[in-house]
Amino acid sequence: MKAVLGLEDGEFVVGEGFGAEGSCSGELVFTTQMTGYMEALTDPSYQGQILMFTFPLIGNYGVDHHNFQSPIVHSLGCVTREVCTHPTVKPSIIDFFEENGLYGITGVDTRRLTIKTRQHGTMRAAVIVGSDDGEEAVKMARSAPDIAAQDLFPQVSCKEPFHIPGPGKRIAVIDLGIKKNIAVSLQKRGADLYVYPYNATPAEIDRCDPEAIFITNGPGDPKQAKDAIAAVKHYLGELPVFGICMGNQVTALALGAETYKMKFGHRGSNQPVRHMNGSIYITTQNHGFAVDGDTLPEGCRVAYENVNDGTLEGFCNDDLDVLCVQFHPEAHGGPHDTERPIFDLMYRRIA
């Protein structure tokens, strides 16, 4: 089956399609992780994006539903150099894409396109499966909306509040697109979780009498999370506030700091981060926006920074009892360097 990937700059690449016939358009991003392809595809933070894998082969161990980070695939499409046709475990990713109406293109020089993205920045793109009409793919790419202009949270957040009972401290979770393993990491520490939609008000959240507020990861521009920003402002100085990925950015915005769109973002499970004590951790990341550390207000400290480019990877404010990280310590898939220290520290900070 023919397929084509078109870019907004006019380039198109013809490859082989897998999955369903059809098309999608959105921001093309790349991830450097070598395993955990299904964890990436089911990460709600990829909503609105076409995901390209830099590792040349995906699908060699089939589709493992146990490791999904949400019930469905959120990336609009998948771009890869090669997809395995005979995996060690079934179903294959090809069969899974076909059965679930998903769009994939393989046979693409992903290394060249990754270098191009690093040089020129992320671009809008389109994938058409079942056609090699490059001009149409470019046209679709150019008409795709800018991800910064989209409010993607209604598509990934829970529709109604729900409770994950535990014997320990009550944490109100604002769900901007939560990964399953964030909840698992909190549960392992005994947390009593009350999960609320992206637009929950403080009055609604207060019904569970929370002892801390936790803001999750999520897709797109953090400035679109207006309700979550307002909720965090309400609780600052009243309750401990924790955030991961989008939660880091939302909390910074609530404090009056600024965020900005990165040239190509950080996505993958091999991102080096330096703690302020000099320790280096290898982390999993998935974000295209970052906090401008220079705009954080007095009382905030940059606790983590990216070794490769110096961007902010986490901050804290002891007076307000705030602790946030940009990377994903729940580590699924990815290294486990930060799971225990980050979640243990967050949980201990709750009085």
Catalytic residues: 245, 328, 330
Among 67, 77, 128, 127, residue whose Cα is nearest residue 102:
77
Among 126, 127, 160, residue whose Cα is nearest residue 143:
126
Cα–Cα dist 330/178, whole Å: 11
Return left, alpha or beta for 40; rule: phi > 0 is left, psi -120 to 50 is alpha, else beta: alpha
Q: What angle do CA 156, 178, 215 make, to 5 degrees?
A: 110
Three-class HEC string of 155-217: HHCCCCCEEECCCCCEEEEECCCCCHHHHHHHHHCCCEEEEECCCCCHHHHHHHCCCEEEECC
Among 349, 280, 264, residue whose Cα is nearest residue 313:
280
Cα–Cα dist 285/246, whole Å: 11
Please tell me the total number of residues recorded for the chain in this structure.
Answer: 351
Looking at residue 66, the DSSP 8-state letter turns out to be G
Give the dihedral of Cα atoms 331, 291, 220, 124; nearest 10 deg: -100
What SS3 class is residue 268?
A: strand
What SS3 class is residue 27?
A: strand
Counting Cβ atoms within 10 Å, is residue 307 exposed (0-12), middle (13-18) or buried (19+)? middle
